[in-house]
Amino acid sequence: MGILAAGLGGSAPNLRSFRLTLIEQLTQRLREAIAKIGAEGDPLVRAAHDEQFGDYQSNCAMGIAKKLGKNPREVAAAIVSNLCVDDLCEPAEIAGPGFVNLRLKPEYLSRRLAAIPPASEGSMDRLGIDPSGRPRIVVVDLSSPNLAKEMHVGHLRSTVIGDCVARILEFAGHTVHRENHVGDWGTQFGMLVAYLRRVKPEAVADADRLVIADLEAFYIEAKALFDADEDFKKESRDTVVALQGGDPATRRIWQAFCAESLRHCHAIYDRLGVRLEDRGESFYTDLMTDVVARLESTKRERPDDAFVSVSDGALCVFLEGFKTRDGAPLPLIVRKSDGGFNYATSDLATILHRVEQLHAKRIIYVVGLAQKQHFEMVFAAARQAGWVADDVSLEHLGFGNMLSTRGTPFKTREGGTIKLKDLLGEAVESARRVITNQEADEASRHRGLSGEEVERIAETVGLAAVKYFDLSHALGSDYKFELDRMVSMEGNTAPYMLYAYARICSIARMAGVDFRSLPACTILLEHPSEILLAKRMLQFAETLEVVSRELRPNVLTDYLYDLAKAFSRFYDKKLGVRVIDAAPESVRISRLRLCDLSARTLKLGLHLLGIETVEQM
């Protein structure tokens, strides 16, 4: 994926052509042809929608013709006659008003597949895809639950999407800081510390040994007391003051509480295979003072500018384009009239830290769409304050809600929040049922599995089902948590994908070969199903390129689904070719190689979604 990120048009393209993705390579050739006819314009190469018109299509002739005042088909013809793609494509064809259609040659696909190095033991299989030539420092702000309570279903999406995005950017060669911006500061913590003092005095004496089995219940009890008991309310408030004033005893209990709550979170992260660094809101307390001080000095420097002003006693930032419902300017409050800081102050502080201390060039906040306006305003404020250079991108990767099967907010029957660990447990349970209840011929494959192996597979498949289902939806839309669909073996689901992978592993077993030690061979692509499969595999790199740029995990799930379908077609007795019993040997080896490359592509693709594969299902 390196080259697109680094910009096309390198000075020695031929030396590095195999490092280009298919689409990059075609783009480059078209760019050369456009230059040869003395025109200017983006090559606009896209994958063709309909195979009938080839594999890729360039739509550049229309725009260029318009600029030159010429007939688009003539421009297309001029481009095509200057286009050198003999080594890659069949002769280009012109269609409709001036589309240039390109169909890749099987020999070219075959050469590219042959150039993929074998998987190396130990290190990650990259399938020959180079990291970006321009690595950057990236921050992904993900998960970020509130430590006062148990993680609930609302945190699933941020965790899973954030992890996927981080994995893909890491694979692309960037340095990624995975920031878990947990809520560990604020008035609730005064209440919780005060409650701990009352009900667990032993924790006060030995804070490091604090255990709270049910955080949610603990919070609910504390809150009930807070609402009912004036003395406790006062005690809680005094505790907040002591905490914020840095009183050592209070801080120690608060720290113990946060550590215990983080242990609950990390049990889930470990189970999900998600790595991240905890850096909670409390980390930013000094920086928040800094945020306000800097804004105040801006106010002094620009007294006539309404950018920073005091309104009703609160320090506010006014930004162009943000209005209240009645059309009045909408302020972003950075210091409340009581002198306290708020969510906006803390997120401005995250920007200062990430830009100035982590030196990040791309900062991605994976947070629900409900906070869209918050981030728009915070980003605009930071830019207007001059804290963020033009080469730094601030991105809110917003996502929709996970809803119940009825399309309502996802709650327990009593209206409470559903704990994330319960939900994961349910998914694993369903996966176990699906795995152990398959059709007779499938079941026969189970004979060799021990109870322990079934458990391990159920755990992998269940968690994969939840993640895959989440990632396969367009980020911005809501989706319903439908367990039956998630764990279904049919359709664009994790079990289908994992099964496709396991099936290829079983081909190796049936053929009595180890894919890793197949002899080097020419990859023969003759049958349409072989050609399609080869093309799909080679489109992996450009798919990752799109995902790393646009941060849309569903582009990767769609791709993997297409790949799995292409494999199914290839391996189908009627639509595809013989594999295990193919002859002569050169054909058999070539087809087994295609199996191996398909499996490796599926495995790597799933891994980048945060999903591990199993060899048997």
Segment near ligand ARG (CB under 6 A), from 29-37, 138-146, 460-468, 573-581?
138-146
Cβ atoms of 312 and 326 closer than 8 Å: no
Query: Does 596 sit near ligand ARG (CB under 6 A)?
Result: no
Quote the CA–CA distance of 199 and 530 in Å, as a whole number. Answer: 68
Question: Judged by CB, which is closer to ligand ARG: 181, or 593?
Answer: 181
φ/ψ of 89, rounded to 5, equals -130, 165
65 membership: H or E segment, kind and range? helix 60-68
Q: Residues touching ligand ARG: how many (CB under 6 A)?
A: 9
Smallest distance, Å, CB 405 to ligand ARG? Answer: 24
Smallest distance, Å, CB 186 to ligand ARG? Answer: 10
Site string for ligand ARG, 289-328 (x = CB under 6 A): ----------------------------------------
Segment near ligand ARG (CB under 6 A), from 88-96, 139-147, 539-547, 588-596?
139-147
Question: Judged by CB, which is closer to ligand ARG: 103, or 354?
Answer: 354
Question: Judged by CB, which is closer to ligand ARG: 155, or 603?
Answer: 155
306 closest CA partner among 328, 290, 287: 328
Quote the CA–CA distance of 269 and 616 in Å, as a whole number. Answer: 25
Question: Judged by CB, which is closer to ligand ARG: 27, or 180?
Answer: 180
Could you list the beta-strand ranges (E) of 83-233. Answer: 93-95, 99-102, 137-141, 175-180
Smallest distance, Å, CB 365 to ligand ARG? Answer: 5
555 burial (CB, 10 Å; 0-12 / 13-18 / 19+) is middle
Question: Judged by CB, which is closer to ligand ARG: 58, or 146?
Answer: 146
Q: Which residues contact 522 (CB under 8 A, 6 or more apart)?
A: 110, 114, 586, 590
Question: Judged by CB, which is closer to ligand ARG: 344, or 483?
Answer: 344
- Binders of ligand ARG in range 363-392 (CB under 6 A): 365, 367
Question: Judged by CB, which is closer to ligand ARG: 347, or 530?
Answer: 347
Question: Judged by CB, which is closer to ligand ARG: 188, or 590?
Answer: 188
Tokens in use for 204? 């006060």
Please tell me the number of Cα atoms within 13 Å of 319 on its side-chain side: 20
Length of the chain counted residue by residue: 617
Q: Which residues contact 10 (CB under 8 A, 6 or more apart)?
A: 3, 16
Strands 93-95 and 99-102: antiparallel
435 membership: H or E segment, kind and range? helix 420-436
Please tell me the number of Cα atoms within 13 Å of 193 on its side-chain side: 31
Sign of the CA dihedral running 5, 8, 13, 19: positive
Q: Is 480 helix (H, G, I), strand (E, B) or coil?
A: strand
Site string for ligand ARG, 332-351 (x = CB under 6 A): ---------------x--x-
Smallest distance, Å, CB 196 to ligand ARG? Answer: 21
Question: Judged by CB, which is closer to ligand ARG: 181, or 473?
Answer: 181
Q: Is 122 helix (H, G, I), strand (E, B) or coil?
A: coil
φ/ψ of 425, rounded to 5, equals -60, -40
Tokens in use for 540? 């992996």
- Binders of ligand ARG in range 145-184 (CB under 6 A): 146, 181, 183
Smallest distance, Å, CB 83 to ligand ARG? Answer: 48
Smallest distance, Å, CB 280 to ligand ARG? Answer: 9
Question: Judged by CB, which is closer to ligand ARG: 195, or 365?
Answer: 365
Cα-trace Rg, the chain: 28
Smallest distance, Å, CB 257 to ligand ARG? Answer: 16
Cβ atoms of 98 and 62 closer than 8 Å: yes
Question: Judged by CB, which is closer to ligand ARG: 146, or 543?
Answer: 146
- Binders of ligand ARG in range 181-200 (CB under 6 A): 181, 183
Smallest distance, Å, CB 278 to ligand ARG? Answer: 12
Angle between helices 72-81 and 22-36 (to 10 degrees): 110
Segment near ligand ARG (CB under 6 A), from 140-148, 259-267, 391-399, 596-604?
140-148
Cβ atoms of 348 and 378 closer than 8 Å: yes
Smallest distance, Å, CB 142 to ligand ARG? Answer: 8
| Nearest residue relative to ligand ARG (C-beta) | 144
Segment near ligand ARG (CB under 6 A), from 125-133, 141-149, 401-409, 570-578?
141-149
444 membership: H or E segment, kind and range? helix 440-444
Query: Does 362 sit near ligand ARG (CB under 6 A)?
Result: no
254 closest CA partner among 194, 179, 343, 180: 194
Query: Does 141 sit near ligand ARG (CB under 6 A)?
Result: yes
Question: Judged by CB, which is closer to ligand ARG: 109, or 147?
Answer: 147
75 burial (CB, 10 Å; 0-12 / 13-18 / 19+) is buried
- Binders of ligand ARG in range 576-595 (CB under 6 A): none
| Interface with ligand ARG (CB under 6 A) | 141, 144, 146, 181, 183, 347, 350, 365, 367
